[in-house]
Amino acid sequence: MNTTIIRNGRVIDPANKRDEIADLCIVKGRIAEKSDVRDPNSDVEEIDAKGLIVAPGLIDMHVHLREPGFSHKETIESGARAAAAGGFTTIICMPNTSPVPDNSSTIAWIKDRAARVACVNVLPAGAISKNLAGEELAPIGSLATAGVVAITDDGHCIQNHEIMRRAVEYARMVGVPVLDHCQDYSLVGNGVVHEGYWSTLLGLPGWPAAGEEAIVMRNILLAELCDHPIHCQHLTTTGSVRLLREARARGVKISGEVCPHHIALTDEAIQNFDTNYKMNPPLRSQTDVDALLDGIADGTLSILCSDHAPHAEFEKEVEFDVAPFGIIGLETELGLFIDLLLHKHAKIDIVRLIEMCTIEPARLLKLDAGTLSPGARADVTLIDPALKWTVSVDQFQSASRNSPFNGWKLKGRAVRTIVGGKTVWKL
């Protein structure tokens, strides 16, 4: 089937400032002008998108696919299916696998594997430091040549500011942005939950907000010093938002992302020691949630992501302080963001939400994705922003089930995901 016409949808393409009821044509896997659909012999697939939003395929730049090394949690294949089911056509996979992609051959393996089994575009991020140890630089130039879209030690954070500085300087030369999980190890210690009322009440080791903010501050200084983008991953605190707002106003190349759970939940959720509420950084206070929402509203936080972190049930079903951090998120992400940011808190409109999930990450990572410009690869997500649905982990495509949102009633979700002109998932 060469040609697809998506009819009567609300086409929203923030990169081109387009928002109109229109038909969207796809010819040979690319977005096409209507005038290109001429061939009466061609087999045309028609998709009725009345009442739906037709958006550029969504991008999630913070996903853990666990392969190679931990395929009992997730594989590139199952993680890609989860992405498709969540409306994502491009995902960036983080380097905390085994082996760590701190070398070209592991990157090549991931790309090869993705090309063969993944139904969405899977783009690897490489490591900043060898074995994510924070001590010696990985061969960042070779990683860039091998096709990484960013470097990060995600899950780890380089503590030595000098090494981080050299990494950013070097990354500037080869043109890859640096993503950072912001955690000061000495301040955070063995903290597992937000340091505050609930950590005090429950006697769980606290993870203070200052442990994130100290590194956000460091990253602002280094982004300024090196004149190169540093992107702060999954930000959670009032202070991080304030620091970022001030730095961005001065034009520093610093950006930040937000995960759904950090605005959907507070640290109050940990009171029954359910490890599906254990993530890193941890759930914060209501004040922090409000600050994140304001940061999203005023553009300080420019990218939305999931930090999809699959773990097997037997790994999560242990004592709270020894359980691994993280929850899966690809299949609840869009629903939660629409429900929370549009419906519940009315912080942004659907156009901005799509922008934060498409062209914002695409620009940062210099991806050939995130728009519906004629000629672009036909990655398209159809969204029903008013569809009411109930989260059921049993229906997830992910190989894992570690979600705190099971049973949540949400409004809004992706109903069809198209990659390169081909429908890869449909509700």
Partner 1 sequence: MTTRWTRKDLLGLRELSADEINFILDTADAFKQVGTREIKKVPSLRGKTLVNFFVEPSTRTRTSFELAALRLSADVINISATISSLTKGETLKDTARNLEALHADIFVLRHGSAGAPQFLANRLKASVINAGDGAHEHPTQALLDLYTIREKRRQIAGLHVAIVGDILFSRVARSNIFGLLKLGARVTLVGPSTLVPREFEKLGVEISHKIDEVLPKADVVNLLRIQHERQRREYFPGIGEYIRFFGLTKERAKLLKADCLIMHPGPINRGVEIDSEVADGLHSVILNQVTNGLAVRMAVLYLCGGISA
Catalytic residue numbers? 307
Residue window 178-217: x/- pattern of binding to partner 1, with contact defined by CB under 8 A: -----------------xxx-xxxxxxx------------
CA distance 179 to 233: 6
Residues 109, 273, 389, 408: which binds partner 1 (CB under 8 A)? 273
Dihedral angle of Cα 295, 301, 306, 309, to the nearest 10 degrees: -100
Residue window 122-161: x/- pattern of binding to partner 1, with contact defined by CB under 8 A: ----------------------------------------
Q: How far is the CB of 274 from partner 1 (least distance, A)?
A: 9
Question: Closer to partner 1 at the Cβ: 162 or 313?
Answer: 313
Residue closest to 409 by CA, chosen among 318, 336, 308: 336
Question: Closer to partner 1 at the Cβ: 275 or 397?
Answer: 275
Bridge partners, 417 (sequence order): 381, 425
Question: Closer to partner 1 at the Cβ: 40 or 203?
Answer: 203
- Asked whether the beta carbons of 399 and 43 are under 8 A apart, the reply is no
Q: Exposure string (b/e) for 47-83, b if CB count within 10 Å is 16 or more?
A: bebeebbbbbbbbbbbbbbbbbebeebbbbbbbbbbb
Residues 38, 249, 251, 272: which binds partner 1 (CB under 8 A)? 272
- Asked whether the beta carbons of 148 and 122 are under 8 A apart, the reply is no
249 binds partner 1 (CB under 8 A): no
313 binds partner 1 (CB under 8 A): no
Q: How far is the CB of 196 from partner 1 (least distance, A)?
A: 6
- Asked whether the beta carbons of 272 and 187 are under 8 A apart, the reply is no
394 binds partner 1 (CB under 8 A): no
Instruction: Measure the CA angle with vertex 152, ends 267 and 301; round to 5°.
Output: 50
286 binds partner 1 (CB under 8 A): no
Q: How far is the CB of 259 from partner 1 (least distance, A)?
A: 24
Question: Closer to partner 1 at the Cβ: 249 or 314?
Answer: 314
Residues 33, 46, 48, 317: which binds partner 1 (CB under 8 A)? 317
162 binds partner 1 (CB under 8 A): no
- Asked whether the beta carbons of 380 and 354 are under 8 A apart, the reply is no
Q: Which amino acid is at 188?
A: V
Residues 17, 250, 314, 395: which binds partner 1 (CB under 8 A)? 314
Residue closest to 345 by CA, chosen among 294, 302, 303: 294
Question: Closer to partner 1 at the Cβ: 117 or 202?
Answer: 202
Dihedral angle of Cα 113, 119, 121, 122, to the nearest 10 degrees: -40
Residue closest to 403 by CA, chosen among 284, 276, 253: 276
321 binds partner 1 (CB under 8 A): yes
Q: How far is the CB of 403 from partner 1 (least distance, A)?
A: 18
35 binds partner 1 (CB under 8 A): no
Angstrom CA distances, 117 to 79, 125, 306, stand at 10, 18, 22
Question: Closer to partner 1 at the Cβ: 153 or 184?
Answer: 184
* Residues near partner 1 (CB under 8 A): 195-197, 199-205, 272-273, 314, 317-322
